[in-house]
Amino acid sequence: MSPKTNWLKILSLVTLFGMTVIVSGCGGNITLKGNEDQLASKTVTAGTKEVIYPDATPSVSDGKVIYAKLKCAECHSDSGEPVAGKTTVNLADKNWSHKTKPTELYEFLNFGKPGVDHPVLSTTGDLTRRDVWNLAFYTRAIGQPLLNDEDQLAVDAVFGSNCAVCHGKKGYGDGPLSKNLEPVPANFQNKARFYDRSDDVLYDHIANGIRWEGMPNFLGKEDKAKSLTFDEAYIWKLVQYVRHFHETNEATLVAGKTAPQTK
C-alpha cells in the first residue's frame, strides 16, 4: 500500500471519529450561546411604511362594511359629508375623489400623517391590508360611485370598438395594434401604475391624449356607429370604466365582520 493511500485512510478515520463525536453530542437539544434576540431581529419581517398592493381586487362593498365597523361616520357621516368640529374632508365631493390617488389613501389610512389626528389602521391589529384597500376604494367611491351594470355594459361596447384595439379587451395592453407601438399601450391591470394615478390624470390622458405616444385624444370626437360624442361627461364615464379594472362592487363580507386574514 502506498504512503498516499495510508494517509487517505488516516484522514478518513479522523474525519469519521470527529463526526461521531458531534453526532453523539446531539442526543439532547442544541443550545446556542448568547442572547437569542441578538441572533435574529424580531422585526425583520415586519415591513416598512411602503405600499403593498393587494392580491385581490379591492371591494367597494366590503369597504363600506369596514367604514361601519370603524365608525368612520362619527366624523365623516354616512353620506361622507364632514361632521362639524370633527373634520373638513368632504368624502362626498367628487372633486376630492378625482384628485386623490388610491395609494395616497392607503398610505394615509394605514400609516397616518404627521400633524393629522386620525386613526392609524396598521396599529389596530385586527385589520388586514385587504381591509385597508377596501376602505380606501370605498371612500373614493362615495363621491364618485362605480358605474352601474347598465352603464358598464354600454361603455364596454364603446371601449371595445375604440380602445381595446390597443389596450386589449381585458385591459392588459395587449390589443392587436400593441405590437406596433412604442411605448406599448398602458396595462390597466398594473396596480403599481394605476393605483398611483388620480382620476384627474386618467381624464387628462383620455381627453387630451399623451404627446409623443400612441395615445390619441378623444375629447370632442365622435363614434358615429354608436351615435355618441366624447364630451366631458362621457370621458368621465371612460375614467370610471378604466377604474373597474382596479376595483369591484362584489361583496364578500357581511355587516360587522372583517375580511378573512389574508393579505
Are 156 and 214 found together in one domain? yes
How many helices (H) and strands (E) would you count in the chain?
11, 2
- Tell whether 103 and 160 lie within a shared domain: no
Is the pLDDT confidence value at 43 over 60? no
- Give the mean pLDDT of the chain: 84
With a cut of 70, say whether residue 227 has pLDDT above it: yes
CB 216 within 8 A of CB 130: no
- Residue 77 DSSP class: T
Residues 139 and 70 occupy one common structural domain: yes
Does 171 share its domain with 216?
yes
| Least confident interval from 12-26, 159-173, 238-252 | 12-26
In a domain, 40, yes or no: no
Both 183 and 118 in a single domain?
no
Grid cell digits, residue 77: 357621516
Instruction: Say if residue 220's pLDDT is above 60.
Output: yes
CA dist 203 to 118, 209, 243, Å? 30, 9, 11
Point out the domain boundary residue: 94, 114, 143: 143
**Confidence at residue 5, expressed as pLDDT on a 0 to 100 scale:** 53
Classify residue 67: in a domain, yes or no.
Answer: yes
Burial 51-70 (b: 16+ CB within 10 A, else e): beebeebbbbbbbbbbbebb
Is pLDDT at 120 greater than 50 in this prediction? yes
Q: Are residues 223 and 238 in the same domain?
A: yes
Range of the domain at 95: 60-143
Q: Kindly list the distances between the CA atom of residue 253 and the CA atoms of 32, 66, 73, 128, in Å, as whole numbers in the listed order.
A: 47, 9, 19, 13
Is residue 52 situated within a structural domain?
no
The CATH number of residue 200's host domain is 1.10.760
Using the CB atoms, write b or e for 24-44: b if 16+ within 10 Å: eeeeeeeeeeeeeeeeeeeee
Look up the pTM and report it. 0.78
- The total of structural domains in the chain comes to 2
Question: In this structure, is residue 153 part of a structural domain?
Answer: yes
What is the average pLDDT across 163-179? Answer: 95
235 shares its domain with 156: yes
Q: Which residue, of 100, 123, 143, is where some domain finishes?
A: 143
Same domain, 188 and 105: no
123 in a domain, yes or no?
Answer: yes
**What is the per-residue pLDDT for 128?**
92
Residues 167 and 213 grouped into a single domain: yes
| Same domain? 135 vs 194 | no
Cα–Cα dist 76/92, whole Å:
9
The enclosing domain of 119 has a CATH number of: 1.10.760.10
Residue with cell 390597466: 188
Query: Does residue 260 lie in a domain region?
Result: no
Among 108, 143, 178, where does a domain finish? 143
Query: Higher model confidence: residue 210 or residue 16?
Result: 210
**Is 50 part of any domain?**
no
Going by C-alpha positions, the residue among 151, 145, 148, 149 that lies closest to residue 91 is 145
Both 156 and 238 in one domain: the answer is yes
For residues 84 and 168, membership in a common domain is answered with no
51 inside domain: no
Write out the three cell numbers for 23.
453526532
Q: What is the mean pLDDT of residues 97-115?
A: 95
